[in-house]
Amino acid sequence: MRYIVLLNSRTALIVLLLGNSTLSTVEAMPLETTTTIDSTYQLLESTHKSVADLLEAQGLEKSTAWKRAQRLFRSDNIEVKLQHLQTHPTLDLSREEIHKALAKRALYQRPLDLDSYASLVSFLQEMKSHPLDKDVLEAAQQITTLNRSLS
Protein backbone atom coordinates (compact mmCIF):
# COMPACT_ATOMS: atom_id res chain seq x y z
CA MET A 1 0.00 0.00 0.00
CA ARG A 2 2.25 2.72 -1.23
CA TYR A 3 -0.33 4.95 -2.85
CA ILE A 4 -3.00 5.93 -0.36
CA VAL A 5 -4.09 9.42 -1.15
CA LEU A 6 -7.23 10.03 0.87
CA LEU A 7 -8.62 7.88 3.61
CA ASN A 8 -12.06 8.29 5.00
CA SER A 9 -13.24 6.24 7.95
CA ARG A 10 -14.65 3.50 5.73
CA THR A 11 -11.52 2.96 3.61
CA ALA A 12 -9.30 3.25 6.66
CA LEU A 13 -11.29 0.42 8.27
CA ILE A 14 -10.96 -1.72 5.12
CA VAL A 15 -7.23 -1.07 4.95
CA LEU A 16 -6.90 -1.87 8.64
CA LEU A 17 -8.86 -5.12 8.30
CA LEU A 18 -6.94 -6.18 5.20
CA GLY A 19 -3.67 -5.36 6.87
CA ASN A 20 -4.59 -7.38 9.96
CA SER A 21 -5.76 -10.39 7.94
CA THR A 22 -2.57 -10.41 5.93
CA LEU A 23 -0.49 -10.06 9.07
CA SER A 24 -2.31 -12.85 10.86
CA THR A 25 -1.80 -15.23 7.93
CA VAL A 26 1.90 -14.49 7.95
CA GLU A 27 2.04 -15.10 11.68
CA ALA A 28 -0.02 -18.26 11.40
CA MET A 29 2.36 -19.86 8.93
CA PRO A 30 4.62 -22.45 10.57
CA LEU A 31 8.21 -21.46 10.98
CA GLU A 32 10.41 -23.67 8.86
CA THR A 33 13.59 -24.76 10.52
CA THR A 34 16.48 -24.78 8.15
CA THR A 35 18.26 -28.05 7.87
CA THR A 36 21.19 -26.71 5.92
CA ILE A 37 23.61 -27.61 8.69
CA ASP A 38 22.33 -31.18 8.78
CA SER A 39 22.28 -31.52 5.00
CA THR A 40 25.73 -29.96 4.73
CA TYR A 41 27.05 -32.39 7.34
CA GLN A 42 25.46 -35.29 5.46
CA LEU A 43 26.96 -34.02 2.21
CA LEU A 44 30.40 -33.87 3.81
CA GLU A 45 29.99 -37.34 5.31
CA SER A 46 28.91 -38.72 1.94
CA THR A 47 31.89 -37.02 0.30
CA HIS A 48 34.22 -38.53 2.92
CA LYS A 49 32.70 -41.94 2.33
CA SER A 50 32.92 -41.64 -1.46
CA VAL A 51 36.56 -40.59 -1.32
CA ALA A 52 37.39 -43.35 1.16
CA ASP A 53 35.58 -45.91 -1.02
CA LEU A 54 37.52 -44.77 -4.08
CA LEU A 55 40.77 -45.10 -2.13
CA GLU A 56 39.77 -48.58 -0.99
CA ALA A 57 39.03 -49.52 -4.59
CA GLN A 58 42.59 -48.47 -5.43
CA GLY A 59 43.97 -50.91 -2.85
CA LEU A 60 44.25 -49.01 0.43
CA GLU A 61 43.05 -50.57 3.65
CA LYS A 62 39.76 -49.24 4.97
CA SER A 63 41.25 -47.47 8.01
CA THR A 64 44.04 -45.90 5.96
CA ALA A 65 41.62 -44.78 3.27
CA TRP A 66 39.33 -43.17 5.87
CA LYS A 67 42.24 -41.38 7.59
CA ARG A 68 43.54 -39.98 4.31
CA ALA A 69 40.06 -38.85 3.31
CA GLN A 70 39.58 -37.10 6.66
CA ARG A 71 42.99 -35.46 6.46
CA LEU A 72 41.98 -33.93 3.15
CA PHE A 73 38.95 -32.20 4.71
CA ARG A 74 40.60 -30.40 7.60
CA SER A 75 40.04 -26.80 6.49
CA ASP A 76 37.16 -24.69 7.75
CA ASN A 77 33.89 -24.73 5.83
CA ILE A 78 35.25 -27.24 3.34
CA GLU A 79 31.77 -28.54 2.58
CA VAL A 80 30.56 -25.08 1.56
CA LYS A 81 33.69 -24.49 -0.48
CA LEU A 82 33.19 -27.76 -2.33
CA GLN A 83 29.56 -26.79 -2.89
CA HIS A 84 30.75 -23.54 -4.52
CA LEU A 85 32.93 -25.63 -6.81
CA GLN A 86 30.21 -28.08 -7.71
CA THR A 87 27.40 -25.58 -8.27
CA HIS A 88 29.24 -22.98 -10.33
CA PRO A 89 27.46 -22.97 -13.70
CA THR A 90 30.57 -22.30 -15.78
CA LEU A 91 32.49 -25.29 -14.46
CA ASP A 92 29.76 -27.91 -14.94
CA LEU A 93 31.40 -30.41 -12.60
CA SER A 94 29.67 -33.51 -11.33
CA ARG A 95 30.08 -34.83 -7.81
CA GLU A 96 31.74 -37.93 -9.22
CA GLU A 97 34.42 -35.87 -10.99
CA ILE A 98 35.10 -33.93 -7.82
CA HIS A 99 35.23 -37.11 -5.72
CA LYS A 100 37.69 -38.76 -8.10
CA ALA A 101 39.97 -35.72 -8.01
CA LEU A 102 39.68 -35.57 -4.21
CA ALA A 103 40.56 -39.26 -3.98
CA LYS A 104 43.63 -38.69 -6.12
CA ARG A 105 44.68 -35.83 -3.83
CA ALA A 106 44.12 -37.99 -0.77
CA LEU A 107 45.99 -40.94 -2.28
CA TYR A 108 49.11 -38.87 -2.88
CA GLN A 109 48.54 -36.93 0.36
CA ARG A 110 48.54 -33.59 -1.42
CA PRO A 111 46.78 -30.79 0.46
CA LEU A 112 43.65 -29.12 -0.84
CA ASP A 113 43.43 -25.36 -0.39
CA LEU A 114 40.29 -23.98 -2.00
CA ASP A 115 41.11 -20.46 -0.73
CA SER A 116 44.14 -20.21 -3.00
CA TYR A 117 43.62 -19.35 -6.65
CA ALA A 118 46.71 -21.29 -7.75
CA SER A 119 45.67 -24.36 -5.78
CA LEU A 120 42.12 -24.22 -7.11
CA VAL A 121 43.34 -23.85 -10.71
CA SER A 122 45.64 -26.84 -10.17
CA PHE A 123 42.73 -28.84 -8.78
CA LEU A 124 40.53 -27.89 -11.74
CA GLN A 125 43.30 -28.81 -14.16
CA GLU A 126 43.43 -32.28 -12.62
CA MET A 127 39.74 -32.73 -13.38
CA LYS A 128 39.75 -31.32 -16.90
CA SER A 129 41.47 -33.15 -19.73
CA HIS A 130 42.02 -29.98 -21.74
CA PRO A 131 43.65 -26.63 -20.95
CA LEU A 132 41.51 -24.28 -18.91
CA ASP A 133 39.91 -21.46 -20.84
CA LYS A 134 39.29 -17.87 -19.78
CA ASP A 135 35.77 -18.58 -18.46
CA VAL A 136 36.97 -21.39 -16.22
CA LEU A 137 39.78 -19.22 -14.85
CA GLU A 138 37.28 -16.43 -14.11
CA ALA A 139 35.05 -18.96 -12.36
CA ALA A 140 38.04 -20.09 -10.31
CA GLN A 141 38.68 -16.48 -9.30
CA GLN A 142 35.04 -16.06 -8.25
CA ILE A 143 35.09 -19.27 -6.22
CA THR A 144 38.36 -18.28 -4.57
CA THR A 145 36.87 -14.92 -3.58
CA LEU A 146 33.78 -16.65 -2.14
CA ASN A 147 35.88 -19.17 -0.26
CA ARG A 148 38.18 -16.53 1.19
CA SER A 149 35.16 -14.66 2.52
CA LEU A 150 34.26 -17.75 4.55
CA SER A 151 37.66 -18.00 6.23
* pLDDT tens column, 9-38: 555 555 555 555 444 444 444 444 444 455
Residues contacting residue 69 through CB under 8 Å, at least 6 positions apart: 48, 51, 52, 55, 102, 103, 106
| pLDDT of 104 | 93
d(CA 116, CA 122): 10
* pLDDT tens column, 72-118: 887 778 888 888 999 999 998 988 999 999 999 999 999 888 999 99
| Length reported for the chain | 151
| pLDDT of 117 | 95
- Global pTM value: 0.68
Task: Give the mean pLDDT of 128-138.
Answer: 91
Q: What is the DSSP letter of 29?
A: S
Residues contacting residue 105 through CB under 8 Å, at least 6 positions apart: 72, 111, 112, 123, 126
Q: CA 47 → CA 34, 72, 140, distances in Å?
A: 21, 11, 21
* Confidence label for 64 from pLDDT (cuts 50, 70 and 90): very high
Q: Residue 118 corresponds to which amino acid?
A: A
Position with higher pLDDT, 101 vs 48: 101
